[in-house]
Amino acid sequence: MDADNVREDFPLLEEREGANPPIYFDSACQTLRPKCVMDAMAEYYDLFPACAGRSAHRLATEVSIRCDDARSRAASFFGADEPSEIAFLKNATEGLNTVIFGSGLGRDDEVITTDYEHNSVHIPLMRVSEDLGVKRKVVPSLSEGTFDLERFEEMMTSKVKLVAMCLTSNVTGYTLPAKEVVDIAHANGAKVLFDAAQAAPSIRLRLGELGVDYAVVSAHKMLGPSGVGIMYASGESVSGLRPLSYGGHGVTGATLDSYELLPPPERFEAGLQNYSGIIGVGAAIDYLDRVGFDDLREHEISLNKRMTRRLMDIPSVAILEPLDPNLRGGILAFNVKDIMHHDVAIILDHSRNIMLRAGMLCCHSLFQSRRLDGCVRASVYLYNTAAEADAFSQAIDDIAERL
């Protein structure tokens, strides 16, 4: 991949007189957006700033056509069987909550998760446990930070109604064996929900072939706009799923005593939508298709290997497992002995113009269980370069030498 050529599409990374562009190593939180995505969003506001699915005039019709096109492109991109399996929500958190609260879990039903879930899965499951009597079971990670498939299979019983798991960890970058998890769950009669927010930017997901029942993605982690989440619900699994919100566009009719919902996916899209954002998703998907996932993934791992080799030579640096960069994609989470993670991030920002994330990364339960108060997370993407990786590694080396 020619990262230098790619960088021309991202305004923040343009060379400007008197100021060097930042080294943006925070793409696991939110990626930068290429110009084509922002142009597509601006076109909505400039040329047809109306509501889809409501008014009959030509502007509203154009919005409906553009949003339908984005839905079709998303369905093709993620390997859905039909566009109706794709719903646009305000973020991935809303999608995860929709499935967890809307799938009909009840007392004594069981749900199985990993021990490194994002709070958007962890907290809703705590709520259904406290409010409905649902039992949650957690698969402990192996010592090297990977998924224990054998233990998971042992934990599966007919009482398990939902397997809700982080497909790719936003902390370590590790991706669990998705197909094996789906097959084991289905063999025991359970449905599967994947939090795919961290997987979708770097891994070609073919959800229909995978056989997963539900998957949720964040547009802002894959070159798209903020304020848009994508929820996949397979045609076989969506019928019993209740929406999280009601009203507006999600209803086809109502009396004083009854109401009727629109069919999926519109029933999950109540209220005014982020139309410019949905259109921007279509542009982001087209961009990623042009880049190609094989080259993208190889590029991420090559940068991660480059940084990992340098950091492993620094005695005071501890990388969160797994240590193999091939298992971590574009994510490198670590700590520097005797320096707070937030301090490391601030030093890098103010002294080296390197921007990354520090803290518990919305995954508090993982850090609490490992007796860690957080970490520093560097995350690279298609627009990062080997020179940036070396500058980052040198900066960490310099910080460590101050100890």
Catalytic site positions: 362
Specify whether the CB–CB gap between 7 and 383 falls below 8 A.
yes
Give bridge partners of residue 231 from the DSSP assignment. 87, 216
Specify whether the CB–CB gap between 87 and 264 falls below 8 A.
yes
Specify whether the CB–CB gap between 76 and 173 falls below 8 A.
no
The gap between the terminal CA atoms of the chain, to the nearest Å, is 37
Q: Which helix (H) or strand (E) holds 291?
A: helix 275-291
39: left (phi over 0), alpha (psi -120 to 50) or beta: alpha
d(CA 387, CA 385): 5
Distances (CA, A) of 254 to 251, 259, 267: 7, 4, 14
Which residue type, as a one-letter code, is found at position 307?
M
DSSP, collapsed to helix, strand or coil, labels residue 294 as helix
d(CA 288, CA 245): 31
Task: Give the position of tokens 């793409």.
Answer: 27
Max Cα–Cα distance, the chain, nearest Å: 72
